[in-house]
Amino acid sequence: MEIRETVSISHSSVMESASHRRARRRREFLIEGALLLAALVSVAATITILFVLVFESVGFFETVPLLDFLTDTLWTPLFDDPHYGILPLLAGTIVTSVVGLVVAIPVGTVSAVYLSEFASARLREIIKPVLEMLGAVPTVVYGYFALLVVTPALQWIWPELPGFNMLGPGVVIGIMILPLVISLSEDAMRAVPMMLREGSYAMGATRLQTAWRVVVPAATSGIVAAYVLGISRAVGETMVVAIAAGQNPNLTWNPMEPAATITAYIVQVALGDLPHGSIGYQSIFAAGLVLAVMTFAFNIVGHLMRKRFREVY
Amino acid sequence: MIRRRKIAEALFKLLSLSALALAIGTLVLLFGALMVDGLGRLDWQFLTSFPSRRASQAGILPAMVGSTLVMLVTACVGIPIGVAAGIYLEEYARRTWLTELIEVTVTNLAGVPSIIFGLLALGLFVYTLGLGPSILTAGLTLALLILPVVIVTTREAIRAIPVHIREAAFALGATKWQTVSDHVLPYSAAGILTGVILALSRAIGETAPIVTIGALTFIAFLPPAPVTSQPPYVSFEWLMSPFTVVPIQMFAWVSRPGEDFAANAAAAGLLLVGMTLVMNGLAIYVRYRMRKRVSW
């Protein structure tokens, strides 16, 4: 009797919940769909970036032959006698980035080795937030710093240095990418198994010898990945160079001279009032395409190398 | 021999400490320079005035209002989409090519220079969708910019929730969404909040993409108020209003010759750095609180 009752109750509750369950399943399906849509926004954004850059650049390359773009040594799109050679802007981008790397790579590597192999936990607790703060300062503030603090300081050493130059912003870019370089290469070094260090100590090596001859070589791909991602950041840096490196395209490899970078050119044009669809308007997309291709390439190489160091251990 | 090695070690420590001192020294110098140049300008008049051709009368009011409104749009758009995408990737996604594609694009977007987002916005929002250089355009642009940060931190926060919490929910008959909304999300809320604050603190200092969409550098009016006296009492006209933001105001002042404008720039810089540091401090505090409370 009792058993039958329970059976009938559970039976009716199954009947009741069938429509209930269907509604619930539909709701679950809709929610999953909505979440998927949100996740697809990043795919859409990537595709749209490529599409916008390529679409406007196609218009640009209908007027400007690709060969001129790559070989002409003048960039004067807004002059009466326009030249569209990307080389001067590219040189500016490369020089400022190289100056940045000359600062960031030695300082970053030494700091990372120290933090990973020597520093006490307490010192690391102090340094980490400082580096985070250094990474959080808005780039426009770094631009101010490059123009009004670093360049005057450098002029004190080299009085002939012009007010706009690539050296000051380059140094500031180096300091800006320092937190990224340090934290990524420290991650790589901390991923090196303790065994390797212990083996080295057992052979009588000092901490310093172990750090440079065992840990750093074992973490090479991760450290190089840190450099590459740092380069990518330096190449795309905009406000520091737009403020402190000057606005005139200048084909030179001398960091003491002023020169515009690809990013500074885009800012300069955007500040003016160029009509939509004009060649000047299209030229910032062509310049942006060059920048995007460069950073994509660096990012891909960097992430492949980071993956590699993760797989080894 | 041993002495030489000890000396080498001591030298290396000295070298690396001076490398770290460079980082700390820069930060100190940066704050010092901003303080010396800008602290004198940072008064009530500066905060409540419109920009002016005369540096001593110029203020930052429209830029502060602009930054606030742009951040509002960015938060309303970027946070839900980013958190939803993070939930999808962590809780729902199966290992398919589509998931791979989404993950690759998120990583890639995180590395795209911010000025490229500006070009995207110029081509898509300003001209193709016809939104113009408005607060809405800027907010959407920065929302896309912070998307990878929000997604990555949401995923990390969700991943830290042990599987047995979900298994317990499933065992009691909860559906996937019930499990996520009643358990996974509340438990990871602090971690997500940390990421969201950090993302917004990055967005508030972004200059390049907003310059690229054509924001004005000299604005002598405020956007229409969001609250009106006639029904329906709320107005969204401000979304389409021209605007400027604090970093752009600072950029405009840095670009002008003369020490007076440099002082204005430094004062704006102090505000900016102050806002990002407060937000970062808040994020660190939330993270700290969360670490103390967690006990699985």
> Is there a domain that residue A64 lies in?
no
Q: What is the pLDDT of residue B170?
A: 92
Whether residue A36 is found in the same domain as residue A99 = no
Asked whether residue A26 falls in the same domain as residue A92, the answer is: no
A141 and A17 belong to one structural domain: no
CATH at A223: 1.10.3720.10
Residues A99 and A43 in one domain: no
Q: With respect to residue A79, please indicate whether it lies within any of the assigned structural domains.
A: no
Q: State ipTM.
A: 0.89
Mean pLDDT on B231-258: 81
In this complex, do A208 and B212 lie within 8 Å of one another by their Cβ atoms?
no
CB A180 within 8 A of CB A233: yes
CATH fold of B56-293, please?
A: MetI-like fold (1.10.3720)
Confidence band, pLDDT 50/70/90 cuts, at residue A106: very high
Same-domain status, A260 and A174: yes
Based on the fold, state whether residues A15 and A148 are members of the same structural domain: no
What's the whole-number mean pLDDT along residues A7-26? 66
Query: Would you call B116 and A107 a contact, using CB atoms and an 8 Å cutoff?
Result: no
Q: Is the dihedral of CA A137, A138, A142, A144 positive or negative?
A: negative
* Number of domains, chain A: 2
| Helix residue ranges, H only, chain A | 2-63, 66-71, 87-113, 121-136, 139-145, 151-157, 167-190, 194-202, 207-210, 216-218, 220-236, 239-244, 262-271, 279-312
Which amino acid, A150?
V
Cα B140–Cα B141–Cα B144 angle in degrees, nearest 5: 85
Closest of A292, A288, A286, A294 to residue A63, by C-alpha: A286
Residue A47 located in a structural domain: yes
Tell me the CA distances in angstroms from B93 to B85, B105, B106, B108, B184, one per residue in order.
Answer: 10, 15, 14, 19, 16
Peptide bond into B232 cis (omega under 30): yes
Let me know whether A160 and A35 are in one domain: no
Q: Is any Cβ of chain A less than 8 angstroms from the Cβ of B90?
A: no
Q: Could you tell me the residue ranges of all domains in chain B?
A: 56-293
For B34-81, write each residue's pLDDT tens digit: 988 888 888 888 888 787 777 777 788 888 888 999 999 999 999 999
Distance CA(A79)–CA(A58), nearest Å, equals: 21
- Write out pLDDT tens, residues B122-146: 989 888 888 888 899 999 999 999 9
- Least CA distance to B285: which residue of chain A? A129
pLDDT the model gives residue B152: 94
For A246, the domain range is 87-312
User: Is residue A255 in a domain?
Assistant: yes
The upper half-sphere exposure of residue B71, i.e. CA atoms within 13 Å in the direction of its Cβ, equals: 23
Taking only residues 64 to 83 of chain A, the set having a beta carbon closer than 8 angstroms to any beta carbon of chain B reads: none
Query: In chain B, what's the furthest Cα-to-Cα distance?
Result: 87
* Portion 40-79 of B in contact with A at CB < 8 A: none
Distance CA A27, CA B176 (A): 11
Asked if residue A78 belongs to a domain, the reply is no
Are A176 and A306 in a shared domain? yes
| B13 close to A (CB below 8 A) | yes
- Unique residue bearing structure tokens 């998927």: A36
